[in-house]
Amino acid sequence: MPQANYEPKIEQVVQDYPNQMPNPNQIQVIFLMDTKDLKPHPLNEKLYNFDDDDRSDLRISMTQTYKDNGYPNTEIVYIDKNNVIYSGHRRWYSAKEEKIPVLRCMRIEDTFDKKCLTDPVLKRKELDTLSNLNYPGTKRNELAWEVVLKKYDEYNKTDEKITGHFYTPKQRNIWCRQNTKYSVENFKKMVEIYEVNRIDLIKKVDLTDISVNNAWKEALNIQPASNVKYDPDRKNWVQFFKDKPECMKKVMKYANDMYNQYVNISINGKSIPLDDVHGHEQNVISANLSHFYMSAVSLVLEEEGFKSYTPREEAGLPDIRIKDYLKKDIILKEWKSKLLNLMDMVLELPYQQVQVQQELFLIHFY
């Protein structure tokens, strides 16, 4: 039997080899990395609650995959050149908990720069990178309310440092449409729940144990409309303040004075409430602004001869009450459920420049 001559074919393969090789810049190499050498991304720790995260199924799956294949993760962990994790924190935590020594990883072009933790422009860019790499899928429910709201809060606080003000209602709605599957109305209500720190209700909504609307009502203590007939002798507070524009101006002055005193609380030369490192949470600042207006209205009404007072230790009562008016308690209608609408408009401005128009003030008295 004659011997086959393979030399021409081998020569042709060698000649074509450079043309058949992929572009080195387009090659993505998957490799095993020691679990102990990986580092969590600091911003990812803020976006996701890893302490309250059920990873039991993932841990079982990774342990079995490691026994069967010699590697634990079917989903790749994305890391930078310094081994900072950009996507795969749950897999990394699970590997540590199960004492799995290696993870399959892939390098990305981006590199973590610690300046992004203090520079809001760099932080915004870094948040975008993390968001793009952690797309909705099997790795985590990226569209769960708790995840979405934490992410929104980080974007909102970051933009405030860049622009000087938090998202306006319009910007909030745009963010919702671009980053979530939820309706604008439901997103607005869930943001309000998040701002009063009712994470327990957010978890219930994620578990479908409660509707968004019912969770919102519970969080903000929204009461059903009263069936009591309108009292024609009741004082018209809207007209009262329309007839006395100087009273409206005093309310705004008192409230803004209280706000400015609050944000300028200073320790060792630092203005604490708005400090980037030691400052207060956004929802706390908003709540305080609500209290400032409540107290300001009560003060002005007292100056006008009414025996006005605030609930103080009787939480849940109307914000302002008046004693002995027409020989009975007359209660100014509660504002709390509507105050967040004011917050939406007020927070469009830098906190240092809060100025409330008379029309905004009046909406609380009908």
pLDDT digits (tens, 9 = 90+) for 40-84: 998 887 777 776 677 888 889 899 999 999 999 988 999 999 999
In terms of Cα–Cα distance, which of 91, 82, 87, 39 is closest to 62? 91
- Main-chain dihedrals φ then ψ at residue 328, nearest 5 degrees: -160, 165
- 287: confidence class by pLDDT, cuts 50, 70, 90: confident
Rounded CA-CA distance 164/160 in Å is 5
Confidence check: pLDDT of 282 > 60: yes
Q: Of the segments 15-29, 195-209, 220-234, 245-259, which one has the largest average pLDDT value? A: 245-259
Whole-Å CA distances, 327 to 76, 304, 307, 339: 74, 18, 12, 29
Distances (CA, A) of 78 to 38, 92, 98, 155, 334: 10, 11, 20, 22, 51
Q: How far apart are CA 231 and CA 54, in angstroms?
A: 55
User: Distances from the Cα of 159 to the Cαs of 55, 126, 155, 175, 251, in angstroms?
Assistant: 32, 13, 6, 12, 30
Instruction: Please enumerate in sequence order all residues whose Cβ is within 8 A of that of 155, keeping only pairs 6 or more positions apart, or say none.
Output: 124, 127, 167, 175
State the Cα angle at 287 between 286 and 290, rounded to 5°: 95
Q: How many other CB atoms are found less than 10 A from the CB of residue 232?
A: 6
- Specify the pLDDT at position 313: 58
Going by their DSSP bridges, the two strands 102-107 and 77-79 should be labelled as parallel
Cβ 152 vs Cβ 175: under 8 Å: yes
State the greatest distance between any 2 C-alpha atoms of the chain, in Å, as a whole number: 123
Q: CB neighbours of 61 closer than 8 A, spacing ≥ 6?
A: none
For domain 27-122, the question of CATH label 3.90.1530 is answered with yes
pLDDT surpasses 50 at 350? no
Which residues, 6 or more positions from 244, have their beta carbon under 8 angstroms from its beta carbon? 304
Q: Which residues contact 266 (CB under 8 A, 6 or more apart)?
A: 272
Highest-confidence segment of 259-268, 309-318, 347-356: 259-268
pLDDT given for residue 142 in this prediction: 57
The mean pLDDT value for 138-152 works out to 73
Q: What is the pLDDT of residues 305-321, one digit of tens each?
A: 888 888 765 555 556 77
Residue with tokens 């993870």: 103
Residue 144's nearest CA partner among 55, 100, 204 is 204
Distance CA 47, CA 244 (A): 48
d(CA 300, CA 34) in angstroms, rounded, equals 67
Angstrom distances, CA of residue 50 to CA of 90, 94, 256: 8, 11, 39
Q: Which amino acid is at 48?
A: Y
- Give the separation between CA 282 and CA 152, rounded to whole angstroms: 12
Domain map of the chain by residue range?
Answer: 27-122, 143-222, 237-365
Are 333 and 366 a contacting pair, CB within 8 Å? yes
Query: At 325, is the secondary structure helix, strand, or coil?
Result: strand
Report d(CA 32, CA 69) in Å as an integer.
12
Q: Sorting pLDDT into bands at 50, 70 and 90, what band is 346?
A: very low
